[in-house]
Amino acid sequence: MRLSFYGAARTVTGSCFLAEVSGMRVLVDCGLFQGPPEVRERNFKPFPFLPAAIDFLLLTHAHIDHSGLIPRLCREGFRGKILATEASVDLLGVLLPDAAHIQEMETEQKNRKGKRAGKPPLAPLYTVADAARSLQFLEGVGYETPVSLSPGVTATFLNAGHILGASMILLTVNEGSVPLRVLFSGDVGRKGQRFLKDPVTVDAADYVIMESTYGNRLHPEENELSVLREVIWRAYNRGGNVIIPAFAVERTQDLLYDLSELNHAGGLPPVKVYIDSPLASAVTSIFNRHRELYDQETQSLIRAGLDPLNSDFVHFSVTTEESRALNESPQSLVIISASGMCEAGRIRHHLKHNLWRPESAVVFVGFQPVGTLGRRILDGERSVTIFGEEIAVRAEIVELSGYSAHADQPALINWLSGITHKPRQVFVVHGEPDAAEFLRGRIESGLGIKAVVPDFASSWTLVADVRAEALWDAYRRLGDRIQETLRAADPAETAEIVHRLEAVFNGRK
């Protein structure tokens, strides 16, 4: 197998790996690059492969940094199958059109400014129509059921515990006497997450392509419920709002889970909670359709009439008018809005109206990559630019790392060490350079497994792990062939065969 790294190499976003095996070309993920301009520019560069030549796209999960270039891939000629879990297929049905809408809106804004400057108009990365057309290539698969890609090559989707429908993907190539097993970790979730079952442990893998988002970090032992409650009370007592940038998928639902628990326990002040994101509203409906993926604890809550996603005190604002009205409310509100990195969406309007207010609070509950608006606020910048206007940062800024859907460094090491059949090599991806290099070092020093941080566009040849028992099997088969040959040969031929075998074992030609 030839494996090439065309995304998430020494950066967090843009996951995209190309496996060339058995005459096939298989992509694993096709994600959007996010972050600073020099990273986002990669979204517009030509694909380093021919989209029409790709046979399969295997999707680990629906987050845009793993799926966001699918519409462009399809527009430029991909006609194969996109395999993902049923829940991921449903999520992509709303996430990709939403991502396309953002592309169109941002391009329209740039063109208005460019027109005044006499610049030619720009085209969006892809359109809503492109996104809609790409959905026809999606095909849902189940967990733990090998899917045949070609004779001798299968893909098995395994629960990653990251978001609803998230998967690890095990590619198995059965060519010759020894199988080649390549495991793509996707994003590895945390144990004990709200809603989700824990990530599975894998029995055997020869190579692992492993994420490192939190490869050099430990999640603090904080009580998110307690901190969240205290932040809401402080803002309420000051007469301000609590603004929470949150990913529409998983993070918003996790917050609803905790707010529901606080509300039932009487731990909240009399504030209204608004989900100001049409996308988050649609995603919440998809969660309700896939309750079979919930863990036992969540299913017990639902049976007890305490469904975290269907609480009376939570309000969903869908229209633009409803969203704008929130900024005019005289009451303290808790507003959860997308996007989680503050790069697009309604959250930017709420930040514009609340960042400068000392009485308000902004609570970050997700990873903020370098270069994003969210990271700049977290890093303590005194002012930021939103919609071309300089906004002072005077609100209380709080970071809750406990909501991360990514395993931290010890959990990643623990997950990797659980692979019974020790991998030959680990490729550390999907992390900032410092995080990836730190995790690489821990893998080598702590587990004794060779690990590398691949460069963008680098390629590697992966071969099956031929162990002692496999060599012995091959030796026995060779012995049988020699016996058959000797029985059919005359004495002169037998002597020649023996002479040649002695030459091979003595290292002579």
DSSP string, 401-470: GGG--S--HHHHHHHHHT-SB--SEEEEESS-HHHHHHHHHHIIIII--EEE-PPTT-EEE------HHH
pLDDT per residue over 178-234, tens digit each? 999 999 999 999 999 999 999 999 999 999 999 999 999 998 877 889 999 999 999
Residue bearing tokens 């080598």: 444
| Residue 205: predicted pLDDT | 97
Three-class DSSP category at 130: helix
Which residues of the chain fall short of a pLDDT of 70?
Answer: 465-477, 486, 491, 501-509
pLDDT per residue over 308-362, tens digit each? 998 888 999 878 999 999 999 999 999 999 888 888 889 999 999 999 999 999 9
* CATH 3.40.50.10890 domain span(s) along the chain: 224-403
Task: For residue 374, give the nearest of 283, 252, 250, 246 by alpha carbon.
Answer: 246
Euclidean distance between CA atoms 145 and 277, whole angstroms: 35
Structure tokens belonging to residue 426: 């680990």
| Residue 484: predicted pLDDT | 75
pTM: 0.85
| Residue 146: predicted pLDDT | 98
- What residues have CB less than 8 Å from 421, skipping those under 6 apart? 203, 204, 205, 206
Euclidean distance between CA atoms 59 and 84, whole angstroms: 5
Please report, as a single letter, which amino acid is at residue 283.
V
Cβ neighbours, 10 Å, residue 33: 24
H/E run at residue 46: none
* CATH 3.60.15.10 domain span(s) along the chain: 2-217+406-461
- What residues have CB less than 8 Å from 369, skipping those under 6 apart? 12, 13, 34, 35, 341, 375, 432
Euclidean distance between CA atoms 355 and 376, whole angstroms: 13
Euclidean distance between CA atoms 445 and 448, whole angstroms: 6
Task: Tell me which of 3.50.50.60, 3.40.309.10, 3.40.50.460, 3.60.15.10 is the CATH number of domain 2-217+406-461.
Answer: 3.60.15.10
* Domain formed by 224-403, architecture: 3-Layer(aba) Sandwich (3.40)
- What residues have CB less than 8 Å from 297, skipping those under 6 apart? none
| Residue 402: predicted pLDDT | 82
- What residues have CB less than 8 Å from 482, skipping those under 6 apart? 497, 501
